[in-house]
Every structure is written in C-alpha cells, then in structure tokens.
Amino acid sequence: SRTATINRLRGILSAFGVVLPLKASTVRLHTAARLNEVPVMVQALALEMLAEVAHLDERIKCRVPDDCVPDERTDEGASAATA
C-alpha cells in the first residue's frame, strides 16, 4: 500500500512535469520542495498522499514493538488517573 501510494504520487506529479526518482526516501524528501511547480489542487492532494505515506511508515515501524512510541496511557498513567 505504501509503495502504491508513492507510485501514485510520482505519477500525478509527473503528469505536471515534476519527475522524481524511484527511491521512496527521495520522493519523501523532494516532493514538498517541488510542490510550487504544480497547481494548488495537486499540491493539496500531494500533501495528503505524503501524510498517508508517513502514516503507513509508522504502521510498518510499529510491527517491531521496540520501535513503537508507547501509548500515553501506560499502566501507571491509567492507575494514577483512576486513583
């Protein structure tokens, strides 16, 4: 899903003359810098797609529990809130 989103983003941008390399990390880094080259509506869509990619990155990252950011409501926090 992440790769498909990145490829869709690259395709949309390329339709407006913004060609980005295949490497996903490059797409993440350079899309925002090149948005001024496309219409405002496409800019908004590209930003939404970048946000979706970031969300998918976090989901993938969280498959390894040590890499996940702990939930704000830890056992201690939940106990303190109910005390």
DSSP 38: S
Reduced to 3 states (helix: H, G, I; strand: E, B; else coil), residue 58 is helix
**Per-residue confidence (pLDDT) for residue 4, from 0 to 100:** 93
Q: How far apart are CA 5 and CA 45, in angstroms?
A: 11
Of residues 16, 77, 83, 74, the one with CA closest to residue 45: 16
Q: Per-residue pLDDT for 21 more than 50? A: yes
The pTM of this model reads: 0.69
Q: Average pLDDT for residues 42-71, to the nearest whole number?
A: 82
Q: Per-residue pLDDT for 43 more than 80? A: yes
Tokens encoding 54: 């970031």
Q: How far apart are CA 74 and CA 13, in angstroms?
A: 42
Of residues 60, 53, 58, 55, the one with CA closest to residue 7: 53
**Per-residue confidence (pLDDT) for residue 50, from 0 to 100:** 93
**Per-residue confidence (pLDDT) for residue 80, from 0 to 100:** 44
82 vs 63, more confident: 63
- pLDDT band for position 70 (50/70/90)? low
